[in-house]
Amino acid sequence: MDTNSTFAVRLKQLREDAGLSQTQLAERLGVSRGSVSYYEKDERTAGIDFLAAAANYFNVPSDWLLGLTNTRESENVNIGERTGLSDKAIEILQESRRKSESEPVKYRIPRNFDASCIVNYLLTHSDFSEAKEHIENAQRCSWTVSQKREWRDRMTNEENARLDCIYDEIESYGYCVLNPEEAVQSYEFQATKLISKAISEMCALRLPVPTFEDVISFTPVLEEPLTLEDAQNLIDAATIAKMAKEDDHAAQE
């Protein structure tokens, strides 16, 4: 779409999302209802004053209204443009960080391992580039599959049979002809394997095991032998206590 068409679509989208009629929006922006109608139908080009007023009223970047960016939230413009992250992705990362910082200490295991930590770990993992390449190849092969089906559908039975014979002849010389469907499955498997490996390694990350002194300092006098469950509970309690002490120390600094 061109700039005017994009502006028309997005202006109408904003108005409808806000639950406003054209008359109500016109009153808020100081124009006639007819002007709003013309803009939304792409029958007139809005002026700079109206563009600025609409952007300020709906708190969106004017570039978004004009179709120069797909990032709708003003504070996300630079982040979205530089990283390609959508507003939703940025919102999830920010909310995850806020939640991590506000949670009680006992729930922070591993500590501060929020969505941004997960994304950072996966993106910087040694296998990420290879996994990304497999995903891209799978996407290309998926496109080839759809094109091949259309191509095959346009061919006669004789032409299809002849093509199959050519494949058979090529394979008789010792070459492997991997059809696009098989290629997609192969690339998907390789990508899944690499990403699963990264996730498994990430899930295996743990806080340092509490020392004997940590446990003793938190352990009451025991009148009977510990069960394995009691011992694990004490280890968990010591871990929580140690983290609380670290948080208090950090707060004082």
Report yes or no: 216 and 248 within 8 Å, Cβ to Cβ: no
pLDDT at 149 (0 to 100): 67
- Reply yes or no on whether the pLDDT at 218 is more than 50: no
68 within a domain of the structure (yes/no): yes
- Of 13-27, 84-98, 172-186, the one with minimum mean pLDDT is 172-186
Tokens of 46: 């809005």
Q: How many folded domains does the chain comprise?
A: 3
Residues 230 and 170 in one domain: no
Instruction: Tell me the CA distances in angstroms from 201 to 12, 110, 131, one per residue in order.
Output: 47, 13, 15
234 within a domain of the structure (yes/no): yes
Per-residue model confidence as pLDDT tens digits over 92-124? 887 877 776 665 544 444 444 677 778 878 888
Residues 189 and 221 in one domain: no
* Rounded mean pLDDT, 212-220: 49
Domain end marker among 73, 97, 116? 73
Residues 195 and 228 in one domain: no
For residue 69, the domain's CATH number is 1.10.260.40
Q: What is the DSSP string of 203-222?
A: HT--PPPPPHHHHHHHPPPP
Residues 159 and 229 in one domain: no
* Rounded mean pLDDT, 230-249: 70
Residues 129 and 194 in one domain: yes
Domain end marker among 36, 56, 73? 73
247 within a domain of the structure (yes/no): yes
184 within a domain of the structure (yes/no): yes
99 within a domain of the structure (yes/no): no
Structural domain of residue 233, as residue ranges? 212-252
217 within a domain of the structure (yes/no): yes
- Reply yes or no on whether the pLDDT at 237 is more than 60: yes
239 within a domain of the structure (yes/no): yes
